[in-house]
A = this chain, B = another copy of it.
């Protein structure tokens, strides 16, 4: 791609993340690489002349400095013809980012040389009427009233998968299976599989279990009378509210997420999983 141009996004509430950002930008400047910075990050770094809103960033590679939360937020806002992302991990939870802070500069160097692989991860498209969004980790449909269960039906085509009263339902991608779905008793899913993990949360029906479903199925969820309305939360952010007349559709998004992976810094999935399983708080 000639020499790649770089866009940069960082957590703005972490001195460590901002330091790494500065170091990288200085390096890019010295090397004469074309770069720009996401607006909010640029504000904090006082680089106003380089500021670009995330959804207009026209860089070949986007570098995200932060934890999984920062990465999920970046993916929400990157324009549709989505750019590959390189994650540099600063923060407690970093399943999506393989690069540790101490390797940040070498990683950028490898990327500029073109020494990387592109990894494509499926996202779930969530639609309600004409509203559309994509989930990299999960969509959560949850009661809008604390401690009041919602009543739901989940179907694929015209087949009922289950019906029940519960706190909520998680629809996770393979990528998201190690996140909220795992805390809610979902299984671990090997990254080579492309599936939907559907987890009923605290169901009245004690015999309900998590479901693993082909990502090629189209799922729909409806609330049943007299359910209170529900919130849809996508990758941790509120998407919209639905009532008993509406249908939530969930299916494989035509726009997957793409990550840059560097051979030298690749961390094994099951190794990262053991880290998660070790955390005590």
Contacts and interface: CB of A to CB of B under 8 A. Distances in A.
A238 B145 CA distance: 10
Contacts of A161: 270
A163 interface: yes
Interface string A158-173: 0111111111000000
A212 B183 contact: no
A216 B211 CA distance: 20
Contact of A279 (B180, B187, B204): B204
B151 A147 contact: no
Contacts of A204: 183, 279, 281
Contacts of A165: 281
Interface stretch (A41-49, A74-82, A190-198): A190-198
Given A147-B236, A217-B192, A207 B210 contact: no
Nearest to A144: B146
A233 interface: yes
Interface residues of A, number: 59
A245 interface: no
A55 interface: no
A117 interface: no
A4 to B, nearest CB: 31
Contact of A190 (B140, B183, B212): B212
A146 B229 CA distance: 14
Contact of A187 (B167, B203, B210, B233): B210
Interface in A221-241: 231, 233, 236, 238
A208 interface: yes
A148 to B, nearest CB: 7
Nearest to A203: B183
A163 B161 CA distance: 28
Nearest to A210: B187
Contacts of A195: 193, 212
Closest 5 CB pairs of A and B: A206-B207, A207-B277, A147-B233, A183-B202, A187-B210
Given A183-B202, A183-B203, 13 more contacts: A142-B146, A142-B147, A146-B231, A147-B180, A147-B233, A147-B236, A163-B281, A187-B212, A188-B209, A188-B211, A190-B212, A205-B207, A207-B277
